[in-house]
Amino acid sequence: MQLGNVGQQLSGILENTVDAEVGNWLAEKIDKIITDGSTRDMYLTYSLIASKIPPKNIPSAHLEGDLGAYLQLQGANVQQMARIYLLVRVLEADRESFAPKVANIIQVADTGELETFLKFLVLLPRPEDYKTPAVDALRTNIATVFNAIALNNPYPARFFDEQQWNQMYLKTAFMQGDLSAIYQIDQRANGELARIISDYAHERWAASRDIDPYFWRPVSQFLNTALLEDMERLLESSDPLENRAGALCCYFSDAPGAKKLLEGRSEWIEQIENKTLSWKTLKD
């Protein structure tokens, strides 16, 4: 996802979706914040936007290019875009001064304000400056806040290290989130995560609890002896979705043992090769 001129594009969206009076109010507030360098006014305006701009949908006619596609994916509304526009503008004006203040929003924001900040971090200038609050959000047990950083969000794939990524993936499963909504699972797969997935699965099995079959997606390139035994269990399961997940893991693996497990299972191989079975269609 390549994003350019975010501030200008957001300005255009707001120009076409908010009343002129409200638009002028926001512009004046932003100019004052930039002039005064006021942390208090920035936080207050970020919060006050909710009383000035309702969270109405953005007309699709105003959603174009990569930015528009991302806003649609996240279900962005006008109120959220006003908040992000505020942050983008102050950072464009004086990033050195405002970046620490923007990063501290996680400490003062309410749940809705925090969700907006996390969902659209990637739109801010130098989004890597906000890795600490993004990682801190992984600790929450509020599903909507956690999902704001974990789901449909390219930020973790771009900026989280392996440990942080693995923590996010496992917690998404633990919180029964939509694992298929995590960006770049294949690219961020790693051997340690494959081990964690196997260990977690064994804990769930021992407690007679189900596992989302999609959970197994990152293990294909790391099928050691223990994981091959897990694949055999999936392929022999009475649950067709587990069969399909096991088939996908084995098919895309380079491990000889994985190919051996698929012997005699031509139906699944054919479905994968003709693309009727994929991780995208796993639960169809």
Give residue 2's pLDDT.
55
Residue 211 is encoded by which pair of tokens?
């596992």
Low-confidence ranges of the chain (pLDDT < 70): 1-4
What CA–CA distance (Å, rounded) separates 279 from 247? 10
Encode burial over 142-151: b for 16+ CB neighbours within 10 A, e otherwise. Answer: eeebbbbbbb
Give the pLDDT confidence of 155-177 residue by residue, as tens digits.
999 999 999 999 999 999 999 99
pTM: predicted TM-score of the whole model, two decimal places: 0.93
- pLDDT tens digits, 46-60: 999 999 999 999 988
